[in-house]
C-alpha cells in the first residue's frame, strides 16, 4: 500500500509534564522522513512548543491526511468530534492512563508511525452520535459524541424522571440518577462502570444503560443504531431549578429544564481510527480490563 500521509497533525493533551518535548521529538522525526507536519495551535500554545508550523483544529479540513494524538482517550475524544466530519483519521499514542482508543504505547510510537508512513496501518470505523435539546420549538443545545450521551440529575441532587421513546414508541417512564446512551466505543467507558455490556466496535448497535434506577428490574438493553431516541424530562418538584444535565462525552453539557426533550441519533459521520498492523481488540481488553488474570492472582 502506498503512503498517502503527506500532511500530518500532532495533537497533545494540555498541561502534561514532558509532553512538549516528546511531541517535538516526534515532529522532527516525522519531518526528517518527508511529511509536512503541523502542531495543533492550542497544543503548541499550552505546551510552549515553538519552531514548528501550527494549525487550528477547525482549519484542518482538506489540509491534513491524518492526525496523531498524544494523550489519553479524553484528548482523542475532543479531537475526534471535530475532525471526524472532515474525514481525517486519527491514531492515538497513549500518554494517559487507561487508553482504549489511544492504544499505541508511548514506548512504541516510532514503530507505529513507521507503519503509518509505510501505509501499513489497519483502519477501523467508529460510530458517532448527534444529540440536541429542544425546548418547545427551539433547539438550545447541539453536540456530537463518540463515547456517549448521558442524561443525569442536576444540582438539585434527587433522581430525575423521564420518558424514553424509540422512533416515537414508548419504551418506559423511569426514575433514576440518569441514563447512558453509548456507542460501541463508549461501551467500555461510563456505560461499563454502570454494568452495561461491552459491544464489539464494528457492531451497528447502541446500548441504553440506566444509572441507579428506582425500578431495580430496569436493565441495560442493546438496540440498533439507526433508531431515533427521545428522552423527555418530567417536571421538577423544585421551582426554578435545573431538572437535569445532558453531557456529550462528558466534555460538553447543557442544563435541562422541565419538559425539555433530548433527541439522540446516529451521526452521518464516522470516525476512522488507525492502528498498527498487529492491533488486536481482544488483546486490548485483556490488557486494560485484566481479563488474563485468574481469581486469586
The residues assigned a catalytic role are 73
Q: How many CB atoms lie within 10 A of CB 217?
A: 5
Which residues have a Cβ under 8 Å from the Cβ of 76 and sit 6 or more positions away?
69, 90, 92, 101, 102
Residues 6 or more apart whose CB falls under 8 angstroms from that of 117 comprise 3, 5, 30, 33, 34, 35
Q: Looking up cell 481488540, which residue turns up?
A: 281
Sheet holding 244-248, edge to edge: 221-224, 205-211, 178-182, 148-153, 244-248, 252-256
Burial of 108 (0-12, 13-18, 19+ CB in 10 A): middle
Q: Which three cell numbers stand for residue 188?
A: 467500555
Which one, of 264, 107, 109, lies nearest residue 180 by Cα? 264
**In whole angstroms, what is the distance from residue 173 CA to residue 171 CA?**
7
The β-bridge relationship of strands 148-153 and 178-182 is: antiparallel
Closest CA to 126 of 206, 60, 223: 206
Strand 205-211 with 138-145, pairing? unpaired
Q: Which three cell numbers stand for residue 239?
A: 421551582
Cβ contacts of 179 within 8 Å, gap of 6 or more: 150, 151, 152, 162, 164, 208, 209, 210, 211, 231
Amino acid at each position: 500500500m502506498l503512503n498517502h500521509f503527506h500532511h500530518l497533525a500532532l495533537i497533545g493533551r494540555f498541561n502534561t509534564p514532558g509532553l512538549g518535548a516528546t511531541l517535538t521529538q516526534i515532529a522532527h522525526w516525522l519531518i526528517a522522513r518527508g511529511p509536512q507536519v503541523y502542531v495543533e495551535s492550542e497544543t503548541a500554545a499550552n505546551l510552549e512548543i515553538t519552531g514548528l508550523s501550527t494549525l487550528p483544529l477547525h482549519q484542518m479540513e482538506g489540509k491534513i491526511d491524518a492526525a496523531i494524538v498524544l494523550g489519553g482517550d479524553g484528548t482523542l475524544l475532543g479531537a475526534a468530534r471535530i475532525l471526524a466530519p472532515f474525514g481525517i483519521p486519527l491514531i492515538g499514542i497513549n500518554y494517559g492512563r487507561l487508553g482504549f482508543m489511544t492504544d499505541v504505547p508511548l514506548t512504541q510510537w516510532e514503530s507505529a508511525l513507521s507503519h503509518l508512513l509505510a501505509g501499513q496501518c489497519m483502519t477501523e470505523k467508529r460510530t458517532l452520535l448527534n444529540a440536541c435539546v429542544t425546548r418547545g420549538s427551539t433547539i438550545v443545545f447541539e453536540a456530537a459524541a463518540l463515547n456517549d450521551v448521558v442524561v443525569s440529575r442536576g444540582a438539585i441532587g434527587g433522581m430525575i424522571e423521564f420518558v424514553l421513546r424509540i422512533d416515537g414508541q414508548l419504551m418506559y417512564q423511569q426514575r433514576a440518577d440518569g441514563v447512558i446512551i453509548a456507542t460501541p466505543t463508549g461501551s467500555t467507558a461510563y456505560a461499563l462502570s454502570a454494568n452495561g455490556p461491552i459491544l464489539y466496535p464494528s457492531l451497528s448497535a447502541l446500548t441504553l444503560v440506566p444509572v441507579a434506577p428506582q425500578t431495580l428490574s430496569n436493565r441495560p438493553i442493546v438496540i440498533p443504531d439507526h433508531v431515533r431516541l427521545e428522552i423527555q424530562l418530567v417536571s421538577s418538584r423544585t421551582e426554578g431549578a435545573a431538572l437535569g444535565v445532558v453531557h456529550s462525552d462528558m466534555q460538553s453539557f447543557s442544563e435541562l429544564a422541565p419538559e425539555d426533550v433530548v433527541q439522540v441519533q446516529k451521526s452521518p459521520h464516522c470516525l476512522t481510527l488507525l492502528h498498527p498492523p498487529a492491533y488486536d481488540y481482544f488483546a486490548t481488553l485483556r490488557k486494560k480490563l485484566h481479563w488474563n488474570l485468574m481469581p486469586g492472582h
